Structure 1
Amino acid sequence: MMMAVRASRLFDGVDAKPVECPLVLVEDGRIVAVQSGGDPPDGAQVVDLGTATLLPGLIDSHVHLAFDASVDSVDRLAAADDDQVLATMRASARLALSAGITTVRDLGDRDYLSLKLRDETATDPTAGPRILAAGPPITTGNGHCWFLGGAITPGAGTIRAAVRAHAERGVDVIKLMATGGELTPGSASHLPQFTAADLRAAVDEAHRLNLPATAHAHGTQGIANAVAAGVDMIEHGTFMTADSVAADPTVIAAIARAGIPIGATIAQKPNPAYTPPPRMIQLIPLIVAVFQQIQAAGIPVICSSDAGIGPLKPIDALPYGPAMMAKHLGGTPAELLRSVTSEAARACGTADRKGRIAPGFDADLLAVDGDPLADLTALTAVHAVFREGVQVR
């Protein structure tokens, strides 16, 4: 049966000018028409959302469903068996969907558990978002997130073999740890973990297998290595040093020339009971200044969350991200909404089906109370959620 969804206004994922009094026609999980005003077809199921604003379901390009967003998420993951981890992941998937996040890209799980959950949500739209899964990230022996099971000895041959092994398991994207990270004891965010040649071998192998490759990279040399390797996206891109942050204009220019988007894992949900580590409090304003330079260079910046890693990063953090970006980096509401809809879909390689409200696209819809084109905090006032034409909230 055809469904006709009414609302007060609509942001289609691209156009800054909203559609007034929209009527979105949905059939078999896909959008078949979008019109302003008019009557629904005879026999259609009408869903009237009143004064709500419709927009595409949100896309979080960087999450970790296996982590539970606790203060000791790494230790808690290590102590849990696969059934317990899957239970956490299933609950997180449902929470993300209820927040209007209809697609997530899981960039690091344990033992490929996100692929199992991906298959579950593929057949049941009410179980969670569509999941793009990376499996365990490819890292070094004691490197960042080695405990997830993707550690290898550096070298072109071994990293190619690791990419092939991931592809054989059916991953959607290859995640490479180009530098260390804050989450892993003994790992240094500013230091590279692979050479540019190693990363190039990984990217070449991924592309040969028709898979995109994205690189976790904080320090300047690791970012430069990832750019030289031709990655499809850079995660974080903070330009951390041993004790501070220092943007490299030459590397920023190289990113801009290559047209590589950067996933700014800026979204966090307020949690008055939690205080971040002093190091991060010190670095945040410096990282903001770096991203101001990145934006000025014309590099696409995608708003994401890194959800799961700690108390400010629950799986439903993304809707808070655009308002945070507006506060720290500026930009119009339409630009910032694109960063969690159509531009996020482009960065994830799903721009043909996700991130827009237009004929032929999946009927992933978020309705919020208020007008996010005037006030981005309206993204957290969820009125209704649809995934592939099924109303899940």
Structure 2
Amino acid sequence: MLALRAPRLFDGHDLHHDRVVLTANGRVTAVVSGDPEDAPRVPGEPLTVVDLGEDATLLPGLIDCHVHLAFDASPDVVAALERPGLAGRMREAARAHLAAGVTTVRDLGDRGHLALELGLGLDGPEILAAGPPITTPRGHCWFLGGEAAGEQGVREAVRERAARGAHVVKMMVTGGEMTPGSHSHLLQYGPAELKAAVDEAHAHGLPITAHAHCAEGVAHALDAGFDSIEHCSFFTEDGYEVDHALIRRLASSGVVVSLTAGLVPSAVPPPPRIRARMAGISEAVRAFYAAGVRFVIGTDAGIGPPKPHGVLPYGAEMLVEHGYAPVDVLRAITSVAAGACRVAGRKGAIAPGHDADLLVVSGDPLTDITALRRPLAVYRMGRFVT
């Protein structure tokens, strides 16, 4: 048994002081105040007590709801896919997330369903994988292998992912910025195809998330019953127009918006089309919070130099800079994210019965969110990994 003593504990919901977290067999067994020797424990099991230090905060391992382990954050991630050793690079990417305190990632687009087969175990984060995203022929990210057309085609694509053991379905409702010939402000699928994909995913017990970069795409995703929306942008052909009425509708729906937050400041700047829309993107980010939209963070890690793997702490920082309360941001990357990824009950919180995926940082992230960039220790299923 392991006992971690911390002056501050964020349990996925609220902050507590002077707590001891006990773990055994990869799970949290108790959270107590006072002497850990007095806590319930397995008779005869030796107890190792670790004092985390007077300025430490203990948190649940973080959850990034949107990564691409197959992308290497290079200037041309599509060309890099063709280099030998893709699975090895994906393992390195996963380990980079773990080193940053991200103990669970949701991979929303790989090639060949490799994210399901990496075999990292406790040497990496838990990976919740979608496989190749469902997209139209030559549509956004077609090169990952997820092309499907028509209602029957998208249903078959969903069935294939379910049969392979995918944890979530990802569908490209609109185009994107990475794929020549694909446009973020235009739809890729019509309402009937979207509804068919949603119905098929739900029939197999799977959540389904929508890549949507324009207001029309977001509205169609809402109408079709998607569980979450990635990016949730408001691209137009020439600019960015925030739809505040649609944001109010999102807030009342309870659908989870996965905010694409997190850039490494010293890296190569975003592409010109994105830079030109940054003011509009910032307006939308603030409007989501003001309206009470349910949100998580999906960094899109891997898609280019500004988004290396393990960038989630910078995403948290970005939201706080946009006026979000640190406690809400911490919930978004722990307990709320666990619910969105359907792993609540074992991830995203420090409570008896939950996996002992734990992060220790220097400082108090509730008063200084940059503390997330100062990890002191990471535990995966109760095992110290870094």
For the aligned pair, the TM-score class normalised by the smaller chain equals: over 0.9
- Does the CA-based 8 Å contact 1:304-1:340 persist in structure 2? no
Structure 1 Cα separation of the partners of residues 263 and 63 of structure 2:
15
Q: Which amino acid aligns with 1:270?
A: P
Distance, in Å, in 2 between the alignment partners of 1:301 and 1:113 is 28
Name the CA distance, whole Å, in 1 between partners of 2:214 and 2:326. Answer: 30
1:292 offset after TM fit, Å? 2.0
Alignment of 1:225-264 (within 5 A): 225-264=220-259
Q: Partner of 1:176: helix, strand, or coil?
A: strand
**How far apart are the structure 2 equivalents of 1:332 and 1:205?**
37
Match of 1:162 among 157, 166, 179: 157
Between stretches 342-351 and 144-153, larger displacement belongs to 342-351
- How many residue pairs are counted as aligned between the two chains? 379
C-alpha contact (below 8 Å) 2:71/2:77 kept by paired residues: yes
Corresponding residue of 2:216 = 221
1:151 aligned counterpart, secondary structure:
coil
1:300 and 2:294 are equivalent in the alignment: yes
> Secondary structure, in 3 states, of the residue corresponding to 1:5?
strand
For residues 39 and 152 of structure 1, the distance between their equivalents in structure 2, rounded to whole angstroms, comes to 56
Note if 1:33 corresponds to 2:33.
Answer: no
**Could you say which residue in structure 1 is the equivalent of 2:41?**
none
Q: Is the 8 A contact 2:3 2:36 kept in 1?
A: no
Q: What is the letter of the counterpart of residue 16 of structure 2?
A: V
Q: Does 2:115 match 1:114?
A: yes
| Structure 2 unmatched runs, 5+ | 39-44
User: Paired residue for 1:386?
Assistant: 379
Point out the more displaced range, 334-343 or 54-63: 334-343
**Pairing 1:1-393 to 2, within 5 Å after superposition:** 2-15=1-14, 18-40=15-37, 43-51=46-54, 52-77=56-81, 79-81=82-84, 84-117=85-118, 120-121=119-120, 124-125=121-122, 127-153=123-149, 155-272=150-267, 274-328=268-322, 330-393=323-386
CA distance in 2, matches of 1:305, 1:327: 16
Q: Is residue 60–residue 104 contact of structure 1 (8 Å, CA) maintained in 2?
A: yes
How many angstroms apart in 2 are the aligned matches of 1:216 and 1:258?
Answer: 17
Distance 2:202 2:187 in 1: 22
Deviations 1:258-305 (A, max 9, x none): 210110111122224x12222211211211112222222221121221
Contact 2:334 2:348 in 1 (8 A): yes
d(CA) in 2 for partners of 1:27 and 1:160?
Answer: 43
Tell me the TM-score normalised to structure 2 length.
Answer: 0.95
Unaligned runs of 5+ in 1: none
CA distance in 2, matches of 1:181, 1:248: 19
User: 1:88 is matched by which residue type in structure 2?
Assistant: R
Distance 1:38 1:365 in 2: 20
Instruction: Compare 261-270 and 291-300 and name the one that shifted more.
Output: 291-300
Distance in 1, Cα, partners of 2:172 & 2:369: 32
Deviation at 1:247, TM superposition (A): 2.1
Deviation at 1:175, TM superposition (A): 0.3
Deviations 1:326-357 (A, max 9, x none): 112x1221111111111111111111111111
Shift of 1:157: 1.1
* Contact persistence 1:271–1:311 (CA under 8 A): no
CA–CA separation in structure 1 for the residues paired with 2:160 and 2:111? 15
Structure 2 counterpart SS, 1:93? helix
Write the deviation string for residues 106-148 of structure 1: whole angstroms up to 9, x where unpaired.
Answer: 000001000102xx13xx21x2100000000000011110000
Distance 1:192 1:35, change over 3 A: same
Specify the SS of the correspondent of 2:128.
Answer: strand
Partners of 2:100 and 2:265 lie apart in 1 by 15
Task: Give the C-alpha shift of residue 250 in structure 1.
Answer: 3.7
